[in-house]
Structures are given as structure tokens and as C-alpha cells.
Amino acid sequence: MSAVHEPPVRPEYVAPQRAAPDPALVSTGSVDRLSWLNKPAILLALVILWELLARWVDNDLLLPGALQTARAFIDGIASGELIGYVTVSLAILVQGFLLGVAIAFLLTWLAVSNRFGRELIDTLTSMFNPLPAIALLPLALLWFGLGKGSLLMVLVHSVVWPLTLNASAGFRAVPETLRMAGRNYGLGGLRMVLQILVQAALPSILSGLKIGWAFAWRTLIAAELVFGSTSGQGGLGWYIFQNRNELLTDKVFAGLATVILIGLAIERCVFQTLERVTVRRWGMQR
């Protein structure tokens, strides 16, 4: 009885053999899953180093330890004192930041509308972007007095120019093919900016927002350190300054720790979330 021969099968129709997982890749994946522990480990190491250094200095007036600062921070939260100062600062910060963002986008729209607007914005950013916002505080006090207006002026200045610079650079980097596609659909002016340029330049815009937020936050704390309370209400900078005058160094460090924690929270909860749901999800950024 003759053997039955199977017809030949083309190589592309042969199911590939599943290779065994590479141990190196498996270990790399495990490391990636544990990467979220890196930042807490770094923070814990810094706290331990701080506590050891404070014990070595052995002078609470010069350098209180991490545990002493933590107790002052918890006491400030429990009594509501620290929360009240933080609320005042954040309320002013949000107002100044949003106003600065609105003005920055108007300037950016002017910059991308025509050549004269682009040259005008380039000149203004070259003039005012290197100018520290806190340097305008004496002028703000002269114009607006000891109140919220002075703080809003310096906050707007600290947000407008870095955001305008980043957004303008992002708009100029948009490929011409996208602009042509927008014009083919009848888009122009503000509609072109909102539907084509903003989405294509979103990584640069988010970078400008982060830089503007950081500048505004440190400008606000510095301004409150200079002239203290605003309309009878003190912010976080005033809390730090007042406790420094009373030689309560642990509360000074608690105020500084609050500034740092708020900065980390905004970076983590706001900007990283925006990046994750937009530019990373769209494949525009790794």
C-alpha cells in the first residue's frame, strides 16, 4: 500500500511557532511595573537624609528635623490655620493663571495671524520673558495698591510670556500639510487655530502651561513674602514670613513643605493626567 503524500504548503501559510519568552524581557517588564516606586523611594531617602542632617546639626532653630516639621504640618492642618493660608493663595493663583492663559492665547493667535503680529509678539517676548515678575512688584504696588490687583499683575506677567513663547513655537512647527488640509476644508482664522493648530501643537502648549504654572506659583509665594497679606488675608508666603519673624522654624519648614507638596500634586494630578489623556494617548509623545 503506497503512502499518502500531503501537498506542499507555502511558507507564509504555516503558523509560526510560539517562542519561549525571553527572560531578559520578562525581567524588564517586571522593572517597568515597579517603576512607580522610584519617586516615593527618592522622597523617602531625602527625608531620611534630612532627619539625619538635622540630628547632626542639633539646633532646632537653624534646622528642625523632618519629624518635627511633620508634627508642625499636621498641627497646622488639624487646626485649620495652614488650610486657610493655602486657600487664599490658591484662589489668587487660579485667577491670575487663568487670566494669563487667556491673554497668552490671544497673543498667540495674533502671532499666527499675520507676519506683523508674529514680529510684534517675537519682540514683546524677547523684551518681557527674561524680566522677572517679582521685579514688577514695586510698580504693581504703585498702580494697584496693597491688594489683589498687584498680585494678579505679577502673576499674569509670569504666565503670559513663557506660554506665548511655547505656543507660538508649537504653532510654527505644525506641518504645512495639516494647514493645507485645514484650508481645503474651508478653515481659516480662529477656526484654523482651534481645530488644527491647537491640537497639533498641544505638546508645546502643555509644556508652556507647566512652565507658566511653576513661574506663577513661585512668584506668588515671593510676592506674599515681600508685602505679606492681601486685603487683610494672608497667603502661604505670609504664613512663612510671619513664622520666620516669630522664630518658629518648624512652621517655616512646614510652609515650605506645603509649597513643595502642592507643586507635586498639581504636576501629578493635573498636567500628567492631561498629557496621558491627550498627547500620549494620541501617540504624539512617549
**What is the per-residue pLDDT across 126-153, written as a single tens digit (0 to 9) for each?**
888 888 888 888 888 888 877 788 888 9
Phi, psi of 230 (to 5 degrees): -120, 115
Looking up cell 510698580, which residue turns up?
139
Q: 233 phi and psi, to 5 degrees?
A: -120, 125
pTM of the model: 0.77
In terms of pLDDT, which residue wins out, 16 or 98? Answer: 98
The predicted structure's pLDDT at residue 193: 72
Count of other CB atoms within 10 angstroms of residue 20: 6
pLDDT of 234 strictly over 80: no
Dist CA 126 CA 266 (whole Å): 28
pLDDT at 97 over 90: yes
The whole-number pLDDT of residue 99 equals 94
pLDDT of residue 41: 83
In sequence order, what are the beta bridge partners of 233?
230
Domain boundaries, the chain: 84-277
With a CB cutoff of 8 Å and minimum separation 6, the contacts of 164 are 104, 107, 108, 111, 121, 125, 208
> pLDDT digit string (tens) for 203-216?
888 888 999 999 99
Q: Where are the strands (E) in 124-241, listed by range?
A: none
pLDDT higher than 60, residue 115:
yes
Q: What is the mean pLDDT of residues 26-54?
A: 71
Question: How many other C-beta atoms can be found within 10 angstroms of the C-beta atom of residue 37?
Answer: 10
pLDDT at 231 over 70: no
pLDDT of residue 94: 92
Range 84-277 has CATH code 1.10.3720.10: yes
What pLDDT score was predicted for residue 286? 62
**Across-strand partners of 230?**
233
- In this model, does residue 227 exceed pLDDT 80? no
Q: What is the pLDDT of residues 254-286, one digit of tens each?
A: 999 999 899 888 888 888 888 787 777 666 666
Name the more confident of 68 and 226.
68
Residue 18 burial (CB count, 10 A): 6
CA distance 118 to 149: 29
Mean pLDDT of 84-101: 91
Give the mean pLDDT of 156-171.
88
C-alpha atoms less than 13 angstroms from C-alpha of 6 in its C-beta half-sphere: 3
Mean pLDDT, residues 240-255 taken together: 87
Considering only CA atoms, which of 52, 162, 62 is closest in space to residue 104?
A: 162
